[in-house]
Structure 1
């Protein structure tokens, strides 16, 4: 008899924010190769918008979101998830302290982005970062990119507050109009003028207000990279299951 194998199930720990979670799942569907429903991966989504603000927790001693993250991961595991994805950049700042409590392996979005940028040609040694103030201050991307000798440039404080954070808040409120896009375009151009070769849209809300064709520079979308990484893992698990030796 063939050994019992379990179908991989992607668990999406979302709600941070709701629009970004919906956008991430749409990207996962769009990137899945296949012509039928049955070729898509199994997915469980836990979208909890009550998770306390991650940036406030990191910068203003706001409520700690880790109990919500742990609870959500356990809900996903109980629902059959075998792998965890978190389409929120800032939430990754809390992972080191709780990884052992999640009960599932996490496909780390920041690490996947750093690995992707390392493969670009011509080689990239300096990137710009558009992200929440929490992500910027904790050095999430700076740390992971430095492992590959890549420098991360961040906006000046005024640009960060007046353009980047204002745009992120607008998108969370449902405003993805031209004024919001213009702020993000100006912020991206500010980073390019500072020496960035590419710019990371390091908050999953940002691609909703900054289409790839709106900026003159290359925009790296972490949600897209995460979706591709998950699909590679699903494909690998399916291939392994199909070629497993009989028991």
Structure 2
């Protein structure tokens, strides 16, 4: 099996996801790790704008990336970008390669949970209802407009390499959501979350699912929450 990573959205989040695949694999030697092909294309048009107003169209670039991974021998693909999951089913159908669904993995993890759960993500992810529809039975709490602006600012800070500034905005955004557990529904946010309590990083779940489905063994470490 070859695990494919369709990334570049953004580059730091893609690098972090590959690091998770390595760290979360139970291994004693190099040969215990997955074979991985990474296609990281930071020129993919804005996914948030595509969802909000259709002013961009990232799909052709996403499909081209999935096809490149297929041609490299990838048997299974993960996208470490929440908003790009808007296109997931179409990508799987048209590329002919199965994808691991990060939102479905989160749904399995949160099954049966009661009480409010915060949702910190891009405006595109929230507007598309990816988690609200994809994770049924959860009482989702989204940030106020002020809180969402801090989410936006945290994401933008990571993309320009300002992790300290991103962390400040993230702390404000997390404080804005009144919930004992918050899902980090943007792959830039874990890069500035630090050791924040009460957060769930779905890319941990995505990595574990990829490891299992590619024949590896995940480390016995569950994400926060």
Compute the TM-score of the two structures, normalised by the length of structure 1. Answer: 0.84
Task: Provide the residue aligned with 2:133 in structure 1.
Answer: 143
Which deviates more from structure 2 when the two are superposed, residues 124-133 or residues 49-58? 124-133
* Residue 236 of structure 1, CA deviation: 7.0
Q: Are 1:206 and 2:206 an aligned pair? A: no
Alpha-carbon distance between aligned partners in 2 of 1:144 and 1:110, rounded to the nearest angstrom: 6
After alignment, is 60-69 or 137-146 more displaced?
60-69
- Higher-Rg member (1/2): 1
1:185 aligned partner? 171
d(CA) in 1 for partners of 2:37, 2:193: 27
User: 2:109 aligned to 101, 111, 116, which one?
Assistant: 116
Matched residue, 1:126: 116
Match of 1:160 among 133, 136, 148: 148
Match of 1:242 in 2: none
CA pair 83-96 structure 1, distance change in 2 beyond 3 A:
closer
Shift of 1:160: 0.5
**Secondary structure, in 3 states, of the residue corresponding to 2:140?**
strand
Which one of the candidate residues 140, 164, 169 is aligned to 2:156? 169
Question: Paired residue for 1:240?
Answer: none
Distance 2:198 2:111 in 1: 15
Q: Unpaired runs of 5+ in structure 1?
A: 1-7, 238-247
Contact 1:9-1:80 within 8 A present in 2 as well? yes
Indicate the RMSD between aligned Cα atoms, in angstroms.
1.5
Alpha-carbon deviation of 1:69? 0.9
1:143-174 C-alpha deviation (Å, 9 max, x unpaired): 1122xx1121111123212x110110011010
CA distance in structure 2 between the aligned counterparts of 1:61 and 1:223, rounded to whole angstroms:
26
Hey, what does 1:41 align to over in structure 2? 34
Q: How does 1:1-247 map to 2 (within 5 A)?
A: 8-118=1-111, 123-146=113-136, 149-161=137-149, 163-177=150-164, 179-192=165-178, 196-211=179-194, 213=195, 215=196, 217-235=197-215
Indicate how the Cα distance of structure 1 residues 41 and 98 shifts in structure 2: closer, same or farther if over 3 A, else same: closer
Report how many aligned residue pairs link the two structures.
217
Partner Cα distance (2:57, 2:138) in 1: 31
